[in-house]
Structure 1
């Protein structure tokens, strides 16, 4: 008879089967939750694309059972001494739980609710506890589940920060076309058709053996290694083949220094930017096209298309193409990485879009699309900055209008823009990007209704950093966006001009929610150094105002003394902005301040950038 402890079981489980009324303990060695934005974005994109391949408007809910399934991978559990521990898969189960919490909020107030609460927590004696038993994350999960709010404490660890950030990523990336009629179908599909393989061992020893086997055995050839093998096989001259091999190895090493998957990401961006001509429509039964095949079957797609799309028909073609084009575009891709992480006044918008941009899978292809291997370095820099500015303008205008721009929501639109700017000369690129922005429905009029909430703090911080730096620069202060976003000293935090005391504003508001909306509006916010911000938090505006005169220029403009004998201000472009002092701050004053923000946004992200060849960072 087999010893029960030696048993190992494996079975496929839907999310509903895996999580319903379950309780898991997280093993000590993998307690931290470390998913990054790119992981959550990829998950949302993959799930929405898989669902939309089957969903058709007019389907019955029961039809979902026959929709295409999606495999999310294995999870490993150890069941010993009555304790069910997660050995491998905690990252995915945490992310699934966050998505379930988001979907539960999303469906509130709608018809056809799907009962998914039992997948998030279980209840005993009236007490709710979440499916993952880890005291460090219970409070943050409870806050997100109840009202999508959680205030960070100094004692919170990396896991809590990442849980909040990834939840906000779900909010930003979840596609708009799944929010309405399709929502209950998507939730049904997500909990019933998304499949994991559950591997259960009945001893910790066996569980760890499985974990090591899954993570430390065998190295299959990567897509880029298979691509390299095919390319080298097509070059018949041994000397030329050796040269491309050495060139390839050097560039792949450099790319791996950027990130473990940077080589694959580069080839996807390059081929999509320059050679993809089709993309799959977001409707049922549609097949993968160039764009998707490059992402999933890179080397096969190249083998099938190198004649028609690349015009590579013989050894000479292959050698000259990879000796010149591959070399150029790897260097361009490395330039994107360098300037995305280190501010450069010649190309500042690459840095900005690394803080607030679109999906890298779209962004990098868009940046490479207008380049030509014959472009001088100066032209490359100008093209990169022009496209990056377009991306930032697009994301800012969409964000102010409370619209999303996750990859799955905008992929079709941006793929067409990639094709429209492909290989353009600089002046033509400026014209095309200007036209695209003029066609964009969202403008800065929405500033009047824009306000801070839990899920958009990252964007509001970006917006205030851009505004604050712009105002400083235009009165001659030697600062940039980096001084506020990534300062060497104290961090800058969002400061509410009104303290959170409704009682002091009853002369203007009957309801507390009305007060909160005005208090969180963009006109009622500035940036202050951490510490200063905290010490002022409960003070009245009139008491804080004298201190603002010692801070950044944007804060100083609230004070009457700022406008006295200030030639730098009077001789600057800021004179065209409706700035005025506010000795007291009523709701009408905040509305005037909102108009200031609107004017600043229209100036900062003006399409005049594409008309003025001498546009400087003061206007960037």
Structure 2
């Protein structure tokens, strides 16, 4: 093996006038809405921790850094090939294209970031992520024109859909005055480690080593070890071990990080007592710490959770963990289908609103009967559905950064409530919310680029409701398909007029 170099790079250093190829065996872009949502949330939340309107160069210099992970590069002659990390770099390129288009529309001060997206030589311009089969799609996105992904490979469909997700999820509070600051922060304060090998063989050997051997324990594995170590009765430990293994296997079959998502959601729903204040230099608290180190948070808060004796650890695993894991799995299933009584869980999920699981699990107790569980989930799902739709009607963002603080406050209010108290509390809170945010239906809703996906889902629901009211089978799950040969779309004339005028009412 020849010399291996690992260097910390800013986004500007990594992508500026660079050229990367992607080997044929990994050219598929596979990220889904959840992945791009987490990236946007992580970046924007970290930026907003430091940003204050009116900040100057001195204040900006004190902004914190964000580490985006490592990428593995193989250098072949004069060109670099991405061996590991293309999902992140592709997503980062989509974000940069979006920011480049956005600043032209909304910011009086623009920052030249085109060199991070494409570069130019004597033969013309080309994208820095040089994947020929993506060029037509990337070109359309770059010049801010719609791209028809019908009959395109899944990778191209994902590019278009993830770009649309970015348009929808990017927080409103960064779209105007804060935008140049965010772009400059993204260029200079977001870091990646570039691991460079001088041959393909060395690069693939490193890749295999990183993925197959010598990896650090995951937070879930560390949590499991801590819990089982505190169950001193060997028979109980064996039973607890089987319980944890069962659910980790279940979650592994769902998604790579489903286990981590479960523990974060459960701990936030049932135990977190505070959240970072929305002001500069505020310290992370329960909600935030659970999101980054849930295994350590449980260790540091064991007594407040009720983990004091070997028997309490055993009961917590076999009763509580078992109960909430089962419910979480049911909620995940409901978010992908149309479960009778829980249809709104699916509708909320189709908005990309991942915070709903935390709120749905907050009022549940391990002693609840199946009927009580159904009623509580249905009530909370109704509340979320009604709130989201009123916000969407008023063009308000339902992104993680906009909603996490308010959702957490409601989580605490409804934690462990019985059905009737829960109903009363949610109705009261709903009335407070629509009054404070002035959410009514007196304004005209119109179509624009950022809400086309949202309106498509709304129209799908309306059609589904009409069909059911007429005694027919509803076809919601067919109507929400937006790509491929069976795609449904909003009438093109309405779409085009709305893009041009930005104020055409929905027809």
Q: Does 1:409 align with 2:402?
A: yes
The corresponding residue for 2:463 is 468
The corresponding residue for 2:148 is 151
Distance 1:123 1:500, change over 3 A: same
Q: Contact conserved, 1:224 with 1:263, CA < 8 A, in 2?
A: yes
The corresponding residue for 2:332 is 337
Distance 1:369 1:190, change over 3 A: same
- Cα deviation digits, residues 385-437 of structure 1 (max 9, x gap): 22122222222222222221111121111110111111111122122222232
Q: Does 1:255 align with 2:254?
A: no
Q: Output the CA distance in 1 between the equivalents of 2:366 and 2:219.
A: 25
Q: Does 1:522 align with 2:506?
A: yes
Q: Contact conserved, 1:168 with 1:456, CA < 8 A, in 2?
A: no
Q: Output the CA distance in 2 between the equivalents of 1:497 and 1:100.
A: 28
Q: Does 1:315 align with 2:306?
A: no
Q: Contact conserved, 2:50 with 2:63, CA < 8 A, in 1?
A: yes
The corresponding residue for 2:350 is 355
Q: How is 1:120-159 mapped onto 2 (pairs within 5 angstroms)?
A: 120-124=117-121, 127-154=124-151, 156-159=152-155
Q: Contact conserved, 1:224 with 1:264, CA < 8 A, in 2?
A: yes
The corresponding residue for 2:192 is 196
Q: Does 1:448 align with 2:444?
A: yes
- Cα deviation digits, residues 544-590 of structure 1 (max 9, x gap): xxxxxxxxxxxxxxxxxxxxxxxxxxxxxxxxxxxxxxxxxxxxxxx
Q: Does 1:100 align with 2:100?
A: no
Q: 1:442 offset after TM fit, Å?
A: 5.3
Q: Does 1:40 align with 2:36?
A: yes
- Cα deviation digits, residues 38-94 of structure 1 (max 9, x gap): 111111111122222332333213543332211112222222233222222221111
The corresponding residue for 1:484 is 479
- Cα deviation digits, residues 515-554 of structure 1 (max 9, x gap): x854xx422xxxxxxxxxxxxxxxxxxxxxxxxxxxxxxx
Distance 1:57 1:211, change over 3 A: same
1:9 to 5, 15, 30: 5
Q: Contact conserved, 1:401 with 1:450, CA < 8 A, in 2?
A: no
Q: Output the CA distance in 1 between the equivalents of 2:101 and 2:261.
A: 34
Q: Does 1:162 align with 2:162?
A: no
Over the aligned positions, Cα root-mean-square deviation in angstroms equals 2.6
The corresponding residue for 2:222 is 226
Q: Output the CA distance in 2 between the equivalents of 1:426 and 1:263.
A: 28
> Which ranges of structure 2 fall in alignment gaps of 5 or more residues?
none
TM-score of the aligned structures, taking structure 1 as reference length = 0.76
- Cα deviation digits, residues 583-615 of structure 1 (max 9, x gap): xxxxxxxxxxxxxxxxxxxxxxxxxxxxxxxxx
Distance 1:492 1:44, change over 3 A: closer
Q: Contact conserved, 2:11 with 2:186, CA < 8 A, in 1?
A: yes
Q: Which has the larger radius of gyration?
A: 1
Distance 1:490 1:429, change over 3 A: farther
Q: Output the CA distance in 1 between the equivalents of 2:391 and 2:181.
A: 27
1:115 to 108, 112, 115: 112
Q: How is 1:498-577 mapped onto 2 (pairs within 5 angstroms)?
A: 513-514=500-501, 518=504, 521-523=505-507
State the number of aligned residues: 502
Q: 1:486 offset after TM fit, Å?
A: 6.6
Tell which deviates more after alignment, 375-384 or 86-95.
86-95
Q: Output the CA distance in 2 between the equivalents of 1:117 and 1:344.
A: 46
Q: Output the CA distance in 2 between the equivalents of 1:74 and 1:38.
A: 20
Any idea what SS the aligned residue of 1:141 has?
A: helix
Q: Output the CA distance in 1 between the equivalents of 2:46 and 2:131.
A: 32
The corresponding residue for 1:421 is 414
- Cα deviation digits, residues 476-505 of structure 1 (max 9, x gap): 223353353479x98351352858999xxx
Q: Contact conserved, 1:244 with 1:322, CA < 8 A, in 2?
A: yes
Q: Contact conserved, 1:346 with 1:381, CA < 8 A, in 2?
A: yes
The corresponding residue for 1:573 is none
Q: Contact conserved, 2:73 with 2:196, CA < 8 A, in 1?
A: yes
Q: Contact conserved, 2:107 with 2:180, CA < 8 A, in 1?
A: no
Any idea what SS the aligned residue of 2:395 has?
A: coil
Q: Contact conserved, 2:272 with 2:286, CA < 8 A, in 1?
A: yes
Q: Output the CA distance in 2 between the equivalents of 1:411 and 1:136.
A: 38
The corresponding residue for 1:375 is 368
> Which ranges of structure 1 fall in alignment gaps of 5 or more residues?
503-510, 524-620
Q: Contact conserved, 1:9 with 1:201, CA < 8 A, in 2?
A: yes
Distance 1:127 1:431, change over 3 A: farther
2:266 to 270, 281, 296: 270
- Cα deviation digits, residues 286-327 of structure 1 (max 9, x gap): 21110111121112111111212x233222322333332222
Q: Output the CA distance in 1 between the equivalents of 2:117 and 2:465.
A: 45
Q: Output the CA distance in 2 between the equivalents of 1:314 and 1:468.
A: 55
Q: Contact conserved, 1:65 with 1:192, CA < 8 A, in 2?
A: no
- Cα deviation digits, residues 110-146 of structure 1 (max 9, x gap): 2332111111111335943211112211111111111
Q: 1:189 offset after TM fit, Å?
A: 0.9
Any idea what SS the aligned residue of 1:256 has?
A: helix
Q: Output the CA distance in 2 between the equivalents of 1:23 and 1:363.
A: 40
